[in-house]
């Protein structure tokens, strides 16, 4: 046998069967082709001895499928997205598919290039998470007749699976209200909403949930309490700093939108004595186990990354293509708690 991996032709020569028969045996279609069990066993044995494995490029070329599923994330190096990746990967493998995850750094050119690459490799489907230009990508996929599902992102030309941001924000706000000093509540001091971008879907929904919870608790949501200063820690740090100096104290109620914003908040808080937090209730719409170890309690909302991916695969398996938004509720994490259900962080 020539160097390199053995092919069905090699196995055919060794077994005396024809290549097409070998193919049928090795891909499991032999009952339909009425191949005798005896031959099947013989061929299988030889294939195993030779260390045969099917060439997926050849199969993919012939079948116009590849067995690959792609996912686009902005970055790997992030708790939420890496958790999505983890589940995406595991559930792809369960289905006998090979996951391909690419990060695009929220760069729309890179996003386009990645989708084009996926198309070139004939991936069977794409999950799109955290894209900066989802419409562009949707259009590309549609043009290539490629199934795609948006994750935690509202899509227009395909199904999307998103966190119930309204619900999470509503429940988080409720918790913050309950944990605030009574005096602050009765004085109507309100809760500050910090971080995120007013133009993105998630933040918009969260603000609505926050406002609804305040309203239902008999408090008014004050427009000037909402400070969507972006996702960059430095910006949040600055906003937090000026807010504290303006109030002369840490706000009695604080809703931090996203963990990176929280990092910024912390880089200011770390300069304060721990008594500074005695009259504050703090919540964060995002989860990191380390927040359980801070000097003050933090309520957190954890997106159900498993639920998001599971729902997406469900839609994929069902062949769903209707442009419907499916909603998955997030989980509220009590202070000082390490969330379970995440795959162990095995160092």
Partner DNA sequence: TTACAATGCACTATCGATTGTGCAAAATGA
Partner DNA sequence: TCATTTTGCACAATCGATAGTGCATTGTAA
Binding status of residue 293 toward its own copies by CB under 8 A? yes
Site for its own copies in 198-237 (CB under 8 A): 231-232
Q: Which is nearer to DNA, 82 or 122 (CB)?
A: 122
Q: Which long-range contacts (CB under 8 A, 24 or more apart) does 49-56 make?
A: 50/1, 50/6, 50/10, 50/11, 50/14, 51/5, 51/6, 52/5, 52/6, 52/7, 52/8, 52/10, 52/11, 52/26, 53/5, 54/26, 54/27, 55/5, 55/7
| Smallest distance from its own copies to CB 270, Å | 5
CA quadruple 282, 287, 288, 292: dihedral sign:
positive
Question: What are the angstrom distances between the C-alpha of 246 and each of 51, 231, 234?
Answer: 71, 22, 18
CA quadruple 124, 125, 131, 135: dihedral sign:
positive
| Residue 121 binds: one of its own copies, DNA, none (C-beta under 5 to 8 A by kind) | its own copies
Q: Which of 155, 158, 128 has the alpha carbon at shortest distance from 142?
A: 158
Binding status of residue 241 toward its own copies by CB under 8 A? no
> Residues 13, 44, 50, 59: which binds DNA (CB under 7 A)?
59
> Residues 9, 13, 19, 54: which binds its own copies (CB under 8 A)?
54
> Residues 1, 45, 48, 75: which binds its own copies (CB under 8 A)?
75
Question: What are the angstrom distances between the C-alpha of 91 and each of 66, 72, 98, 226?
Answer: 17, 16, 10, 39
**For helices 79-94 and 305-317, what crossing angle results, to 10°?**
40
Give the three-state DSSP class for 328: strand
Q: Which is nearer to its own copies, 86 or 323 (CB)?
A: 86
Binding status of residue 244 toward DNA by CB under 7 A? no
| Residue 101 binds: one of its own copies, DNA, none (C-beta under 5 to 8 A by kind) | its own copies
| Smallest distance from its own copies to CB 185, Å | 28
Whole-number Å distance between alpha carbons of 112 and 161: 21
Of the candidate spans 23-31, 87-95, 245-253, 315-323, the one that interacts with its own copies by CB under 8 A turns out to be 87-95
Binding status of residue 50 toward its own copies by CB under 8 A? no
Quick note: the x/- pattern for its own copies over 93-132, rule CB under 8 A, is x----xxxxxx-xx---x--x--xx-xxxx----------
Binding status of residue 324 toward its own copies by CB under 8 A? no
Q: Are strands 125-129 and 68-73 parallel, antiparallel or unpaired?
A: parallel
> Residues 14, 24, 68, 162: which binds DNA (CB under 7 A)?
24
Q: Do 304 and 287 form a contact (C-beta atoms < 8 A)?
A: no
Q: Which is nearer to its own copies, 77 or 317 (CB)?
A: 77
Q: Which residues of 28-62 are buried (b: 16+ CB within 10 A; e: fewer)?
A: eebeeeebeeebbebbbebbeebebeeeeeeebee
Binding status of residue 15 toward its own copies by CB under 8 A? no
Whole-number Å distance between alpha carbons of 166 and 217: 16
Binding status of residue 27 toward its own copies by CB under 8 A? no
| Residue 36 binds: one of its own copies, DNA, none (C-beta under 5 to 8 A by kind) | DNA
Quick note: the x/- pattern for DNA over 64-83, rule CB under 7 A, is x-------------------
Of the candidate spans 34-42, 68-76, 153-161, 243-251, the one that interacts with its own copies by CB under 8 A turns out to be 68-76
Q: State the residues that interact with DNA by CB under 7 A.
A: 4-5, 7-9, 16-21, 23-24, 26-27, 29, 33-36, 38-39, 52, 54-55, 58-59, 61-64
């Amino acid at each position: 046998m020539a160097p390199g991996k053995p092919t069905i032709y090699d196995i055919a020569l060794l077994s005396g069967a024809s290549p097409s028969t070998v193919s049928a045996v090795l891909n499991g279609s032999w009952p339909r082709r009425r191949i005798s069990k005896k031959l099947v066993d013989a061929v299988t044995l030889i294939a195993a001895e030779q260390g045969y494995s099917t060439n997926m490029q050849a199969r993919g070329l012939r079948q116009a499928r590849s067995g690959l599923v792609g996912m686009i994330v902005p970055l790997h190096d992030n708790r939420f997205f890496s958790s999505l990746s983890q589940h995406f990967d595991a559930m792809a493998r369960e289905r006998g598919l090979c996951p391909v995850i690419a990060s695009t750094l929220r760069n729309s050119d890179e996003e386009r290039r990645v989708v084009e690459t996926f198309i070139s490799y004939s991936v069977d489907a794409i999950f799109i998470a955290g894209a900066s230009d989802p419409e562009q990508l949707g259009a590309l996929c549609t043009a290539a007749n490629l199934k795609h599902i948006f994750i935690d992102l509202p899509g227009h030309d395909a199904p999307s699976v998103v966190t119930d941001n309204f619900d999470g924000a509503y429940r988080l706000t409720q918790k913050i209200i309950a944990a605030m000093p009574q005096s602050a509540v009765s004085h109507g001091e309100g809760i500050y909403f910090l971080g995120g971008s007013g133009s993105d879907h998630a933040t918009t929904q969260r603000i609505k949930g926050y406002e609804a919870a305040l309203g239902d608790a008999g408090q008014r949501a004050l427009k000037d309490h909402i400070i969507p200063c972006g996702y960059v820690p430095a910006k949040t740090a600055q906003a937090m700093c000026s807010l504290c100096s303006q109030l002369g104290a840490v706000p009695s109620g604080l809703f931090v939108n996203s963990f990176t914003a929280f990092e910024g908040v912390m880089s200011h808080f770390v300069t304060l004595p721990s008594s500074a937090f005695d009259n504050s209730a703090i919540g964060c719409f995002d989860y990191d186990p380390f927040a359980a170890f801070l000097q003050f309690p933090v309520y957190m909302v954890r997106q159900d990354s498993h639920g998001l991916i599971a729902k997406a695969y469900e839609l994929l398996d069902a062949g769903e293509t209707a442009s419907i938004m499916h909603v998955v509720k997030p989980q509220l994490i009590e202070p000082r708690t390490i969330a379970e259900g995440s795959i162990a962080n095995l160092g």
